[in-house]
Chain A
């Protein structure tokens, strides 16, 4: 049997037999070279309770070349693209070693969710948010986890007046409302405020004129 096929089959079987790790790998179609891996969001993080799916492509020269992975589930995380799900992780690039497995790589992704590396970002805007205001970042990440990854909504969250678009961008509803009242389109306001990172400690640093100037462009 082809070494790659044997290895992948064994990895899938190992993963099925292993009940403790809570990482699963499923076939997408009949090919063992296109898989979907999934794991739960780590406890004690905004991703807790969410279920994350990862697209896995096994390249021709696997395991001697790294596996290709990207998030299918949308994740708000500095090292994951909020648009495409692309992941910035060393072991998926230069630091890959043939002894690493699909399971160990998925576990590495899970631990990446626990410990973001905002200085080596995949998504600069998300990283910016993370660096400026941790609590606001956590709230947004939580909102994404609830919306996309099926994490349970916590009771205190429900009481707040939540505007989906505003929460998704990690902004304050009051801020968006204020600029919308000046006659700008709501979507544009959200876009500009997100780009300028109008959050937490940054709010007093950014003048209103600067924002209006951006809005007029």
Chain B
């Protein structure tokens, strides 16, 4: 979808400071997104003269691409309605039960409600199962649960009738188990789609599932739009809009770390799912590094042996059974699990995927000996990287210790609570800088040697030295005599560390914008 379309929709927050390593972004609640969706629906409703539910289905079918929808719709409305599951195809297999409703143009989904059937005096369905369809509306046996005591049934405009219980169980299974917002009729081969109103009626007694369905609609909308991302924190329903990081190419010159509106701790990278903050390195390098680090871990092994990435949309896919003809759940790309090539090519030449590839194995052996030689180099960076990560993790412990220390200080000296806050500030700064330091090692590992790398490592060394000094200061045993001097020292050092951290982040960010950094191997997105 076009980025500029959304620029007009969202108010951009101007960040006064304008630091190079920070990115402009906006946080939107689920209700905000629903409003944007409604705006699109209303637009389509007006232009195509259809009801809101049909407009929603049409938009979802076209992944919220209004232009494409309008173009195709103007071209052939009947075909679009059929493809989107709004109308039955002209020659579709019909159940013998009822005459097919006319289907020209967008059809409204009709609903047979209980109220209707009880009004006309249909109280109890006849008990026998009638195999040839008899036009006897009272004798309703649901074809799914075979419960003949059911009198309440529902059907989409295709008139495939099923009892309300089954509809409910079916939609619940789709929504809860499959996380699917595209719900088709239960009949075999029927592709008619349930409207939002229909889903809502079925889930009347299950507000939680209905809520989840609405969330899935929002998620589908968000995933269709490159300038939007769903907050990855568990059960958070906020969305972040960051148009400047929407394109893949932008990720080579910036690290879009954003925060959603729910909490300041909901910090994540807009460009990847590697770490919630991997500044100063860009996503491509961070990804390379993480892959390298996790090569030996059990999780990585599991992911490596059980999943593959869709070669089109890069979603991680686990194959849990069935044949090698895979269809990506997200982008519907069809490919072969063995060779990862498009399935369309397998019609005649699929046998090439189980052929033993000699060349690949020779390459693999070469790479192995090379990697052994570079192992030492890697370990140098890895040990430092892991050390900072470990130290950053220990910051929780440090917090507790510091709190105790702050209480102690209030008792032993005449400092007030507000005056001992310098300790907390120092701890915060240390853990923040350790995250930066951690990733500078990943960066340095991939930087091509030369002047630029030396300058980078100088900055890194200055920050590291300062952080270690501050760290030592706040961990040393407390002597009531020296508290005032300690306070002075810690405050000074904190300011200094903060400054050094900013220098590293700012200079690296600037380097990315200028294209100053050269890598010692090919990195995704860079030439």
Contact = CB atoms under 8 A, between A and B. Distances in A.
Interface in B126-163: 143-147, 162
Interface residues of A, number: 30
Interface magnitude class on chain B: 20 to 34
A128 B324 CA distance: 15
Contacts, number: 74
A166 to B, nearest CB: 21
B174 interface: yes
A6 B150 CA distance: 13
A177 interface: no
Given A64-B170, A64-B173, A93 B322 contact: yes
B322 A197 contact: no
Nearest to B143: A99
A7 interface: yes
A58 interface: no
A3 B327 contact: no
Nearest to B189: A97
B346 interface: yes
B302 interface: no
Given A3-B165, A79-B323, A98-B170, A124 B147 contact: no
Interface in B311-349: 321-325, 327, 338, 346-348
Contacts of A63: 144
Interface in B336-370: 338, 346-348, 350-351, 353-354
A100 to B, nearest CB: 6
B189 A124 contact: no
Nearest to B146: A10
Interface string A120-160: 11101101100000000000000000000000000000000
Contacts of A92: 322
B187 A97 contact: yes
B323 to A, nearest CB: 3
A124 B145 contact: no
Given A64-B174, A99-B144, A124-B350, A86 B188 contact: no
Interface of A: 3, 6-7, 10, 61, 63-65, 68, 79, 86, 88, 92-95, 97-100, 119-122, 124-125, 127-128, 195, 197
16 contacts: A3-B165, A6-B147, A61-B173, A68-B321, A79-B323, A97-B186, A97-B187, A97-B189, A99-B187, A120-B325, A121-B323, A121-B350, A125-B354, A127-B351, A128-B351, A195-B354
Given A88-B322, A99-B186, A127-B350, 6 more contacts: A3-B169, A63-B144, A86-B323, A119-B347, A121-B323, A124-B351
